[in-house]
């Protein structure tokens, strides 16, 4: 038992213990995230209907403006606000302790909001259609960079508050043993975030000074190299955070324990060690960097980070399989997954997130990260095809799924429209799956990314894409629309639940907290010979086969586009 002035309540439905100040902050950050998702989603609709060449909705200037805002509001604002909520939840709530310095956390929140408003206003007044990568010497208005910097400072403060809360929990002995795996995953995300934001500062502060005329030259190659130390690493934050969410959901829905705590923790540590060098995969087609540098960094370093994701991709379903088998779903290889709660969006969203991230995002990512194969798809629409599989199906859908758990526990509201909620992950995840595959198809045919008009009307050097490219773009449009319907459903359900959902008993606040008792640090064990999770093992073999096949097909394809033989 710990006693202090802080106020705690225990959620009667989940047994989670919420610290009152942390609770308000988690809610505020999550709500800000959903608002950003709404804005980004409306823009997604407009740009999707423009890339669908037969519709070609908005004009060129608006297209680049909306694309810039879409990229930032989604990948920066929605994702990072939600991650801050996750950090506070995984420290204060999971460790049953008070949040360190809640006032400072509100300041961080305010900085992030002010930053968001600043760069959005700059973009929407037509002053910074520089895409989310804002490569120099493409100029944006100083307020654009300033907005990003303010946002980043806020996020950095939030990271330190997370770390501070871990210290508080340890000092006030609110848990026994080591921190839970989910908190460990959040800590990984936080460590990476600190590195990431530092890289962002190193490049964006000089760029801001350049935009106000204080510095007269920024080397474009240096900009790109450091920008990607920031841009790539921030994706590894997302991966760590959504993997932590997968583990959390496996535990929440199935009571699943990790197959091996040690293996899972080691896999998180691999992210920390190997992600920075792997950033080189964004520079594979850049002149000025040596082949040795590119090959070394993308081979050894990148594959170790990939290994980590594959470990999580195996151990999360493996843990679910073992928990299901213990409940008696032991028939054949797959009864455990057939009888999983497919109508529960917390589970279905998480599982689609895992499969989509692995099969679509993972395999395409390794292909693109290979120096020679990168030439096939560099700067084509294949690239957004790949990363919508990672950040949208992977990260965004994982965050959506955990929301369905947070609404009744953190917000104490009963979900409205449960029928729609059942379908939401399928609409969003499967729509996105089609969208991503079709984009990758169009990219393989050479269709460029970030391009308003691939008919090249009036261009000096015309080019005709094969008819199948137009078909792919149409399928992209349709898949995108289905996903957008899924996204709108999510927003409708979450906002509607906050406003109109039936209020649930929230438990009483008191000034005493309880200690978190961890299960012993061992896996299930005791299964003797044979595989503990044979169904998952079969999934892994299918994954491997798909991987090898796809990789091989691309080498074959490369040999045909490269008329050397």
Footprint of Cu ion (CB under 5 A):
232
Q: How far apart are CA 283 and CA 562, in angstroms?
A: 21
Query: Please, which residue, 70 or 232, has the CB nearer to Cu ion?
Result: 232
- Residue 128 near ligand HEM by CB under 6 A: no
By CB under 6 A, tell whether 480 contacts ligand HEM: yes
Q: How far apart are CA 402 and CA 226, in angstroms?
A: 33
Q: Rounded to the nearest whole angstrom, what is the least distance from the CB of residue 229 to Cu ion in the complex? A: 10
Indicate the residue whose CB is closest to Cu ion: 232
- Residue 224: is the preceding peptide bond cis (ω within 30°)? no
Which lies closer to Cu ion via its Cβ, residue 297 or residue 403?
297
Hey, what are 167's tokens?
């210290």
Select from 337, 323, 278, 239 the least CA-distant residue to 538. Answer: 337
Backbone φ and ψ for 10, nearest 5 degrees, come out as -105, 125
Q: How far is the CB of 381 from ligand HEM (least distance, A)?
A: 6
C-alpha 116, offset from chain centre: 19
483 touches ligand HEM by CB under 6 A: yes
From residue 366 to residue 405, the character string flagging contacts with ligand HEM as x (rule: CB under 6 A) and all else as - is ---------------x--x---x--xx---x---------
**Applying CB under 6 A, which of residues 11, 65, 67, 360 lies at the interface with ligand HEM?**
67
Residue showing tokens 């474009």: 220
Are 76 and 118 in contact by the 8 Å Cβ rule? The answer is no
Rg value, the chain, Cα: 23
CB of 524 to ligand HEM, least distance (A): 35
Q: Which of 188, 272, 246, 238 is CA-nearest to residue 76?
A: 238
Instruction: Answer with the entry of Cu ion, ligand HEM, none that 232 interacts with (C-beta below 5 to 8 A by kind).
Output: Cu ion
Residue 74 Cβ, how far from ligand HEM at the closest point, in Å? 3
Nearest to 92 by CA among 551, 546, 550, 513: 513
Interactions with ligand HEM, residue window 149-178 (CB under 6 A)? none
Q: Closest approach of Cβ 333 to ligand HEM, in Å?
A: 34
Q: Which residues ranging from 197 to 216 are in contact with ligand HEM (CB under 6 A)?
A: none
- Other C-beta atoms within 10 Å of 465: how many? 18
Under the binding rule (CB under 6 A), the answer on residue 242 touching ligand HEM is: no
On whether the CB atoms of residues 352 and 430 are closer than 8 A, the answer is: yes
Q: Which of 46, 121, 131, 306 binds ligand HEM (CB under 6 A)?
A: 131
Tell me if 449 contacts ligand HEM by CB under 6 A.
yes
Choose from ligand HEM, Cu ion, none: what does 239 bind? Cβ within 5-8 Å by kind. none
Please report, in angstroms and rounded to a whole number, the separation of the first and last CA atoms in the chain. Answer: 74
CA dist., res. 129 & res. 133, Å (int)? 10
The answer to whether residue 434 forms part of the interface with ligand HEM (CB under 6 A) is no
- SS3 assignment for 313-328: HHHHHHHHHHHHHHCC
Size of the site for ligand HEM (CB under 6 A): 27
User: Does residue number 49 form part of the binding site for ligand HEM (CB under 6 A)?
Assistant: no
Structure tokens at 177: 């043993």
Residue ranges binding ligand HEM (CB under 6 A) = 44, 47-48, 51, 67, 70-71, 74-75, 78-79, 131-133, 381, 384, 388, 391-392, 396, 435, 449-450, 480, 483-484, 487
């Amino acid at each position: 038992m710990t006693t202090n002035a802080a106020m705690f309540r225990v959620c009667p439905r989940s047994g989670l213990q919420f610290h009152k100040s942390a609770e308000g902050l988690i809610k505020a950050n999550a709500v800000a995230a959903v608002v950003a998702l709404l804005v980004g989603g409306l823009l997604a609709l407009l740009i999707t209907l423009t890339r669908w060449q037969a519709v070609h909705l908005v004009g060129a200037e608006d297209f680049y403006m909306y694309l810039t805002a879409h990229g930032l509001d989604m990948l920066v604002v929605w994702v990072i606000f939600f991650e801050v909520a996750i950090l506070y939840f995984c420290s204060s709530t999971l460790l049953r302790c008070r949040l360190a310095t809640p006032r400072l956390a509100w300041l961080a929140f305010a900085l992030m909001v002010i930053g968001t408003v600043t760069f959005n206003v700059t973009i929407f007044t037509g002053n910074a259609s520089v895409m989310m990568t804002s490569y120099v010497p493409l100029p944006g208005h100083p307020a654009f960079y300033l907005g990003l910097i303010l946002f980043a400072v806020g996020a950095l403060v939030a990271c330190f508050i997370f770390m501070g809360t871990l210290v508080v929990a340890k000092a006030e002995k609110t848990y026994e043993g080591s921190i839970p795996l989910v908190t460990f995953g959040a800590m990984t995300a936080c460590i990476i975030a600190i590195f990431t934001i530092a890289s962002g500062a190193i490049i964006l502060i000089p760029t801001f000074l350049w935009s106000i005329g204080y510095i007269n030259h920024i080397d474009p190659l240096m900009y790109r190299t450091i920008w990607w130390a920031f841009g790539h690493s921030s994706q590894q934050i997302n991966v760590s955070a959504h993997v932590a969410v997968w583990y959390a959901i496996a535990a929440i829905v199935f009571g699943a324990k990790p197959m091996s705590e040690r293996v899972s923790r080691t896999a998180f540590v691999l992210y920390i060690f190997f992600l920075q060098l792997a950033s080189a995969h964004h520079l594979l087609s850049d002149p000025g960097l040596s082949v040795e540098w590119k090959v070394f960094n993308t081979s050894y370093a990148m594959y170790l980070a990939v290994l980590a994701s594959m470990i999580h991709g195996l151990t999360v379903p493996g843990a679910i399989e073992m928990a299901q088998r213990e409940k008696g779903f032991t028939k054949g290889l797959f009864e455990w997954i057939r009888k999983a709660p497919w109508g529960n969006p917390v589970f279905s969203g998480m599982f689609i997130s895992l499969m989509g991230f692995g099969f679509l995002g993972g395999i395409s990512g390794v292909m693109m990260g290979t120096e020679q194969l990168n030439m096939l798809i560099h700067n084509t629409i294949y690239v957004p095809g790949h990363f919508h599989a990672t950040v949208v199906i992977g990260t965004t859908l994982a965050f959506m799924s955990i929301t369905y758990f947070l609404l009744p526990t953190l917000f104490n509201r009963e979900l409205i429209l449960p029928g729609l909620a059942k379908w939401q992950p399928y609409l969003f995840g499967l729509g996105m799956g089609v969208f991503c595959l079709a984009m990758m198809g169009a990219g393989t045919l050479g269709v460029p990314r970030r391009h308003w008009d691939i008919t090249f009307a009036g261009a000096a050097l015309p080019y005709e894409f094969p008819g199948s490219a137009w078909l792919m773009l149409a399928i992209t449009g349709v898949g995108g629309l289905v996903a957008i319907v899924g996204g709108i459903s999510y927003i409708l359900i979450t906002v509607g639940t906050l406003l109109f959902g039936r209020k649930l008993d929230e438990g009483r606040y008191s000034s005493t907290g309880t200690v978190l008792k961890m299960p012993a640090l061992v896996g299930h064990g005791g299964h003797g010979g044979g595989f503990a999770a044979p169904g998952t093992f079969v999934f892994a073999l299918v994954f491997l086969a798909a991987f090898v096949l796809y990789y091989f097909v691309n080498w074959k394809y490369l040999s045909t586009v490269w008329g050397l033989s």
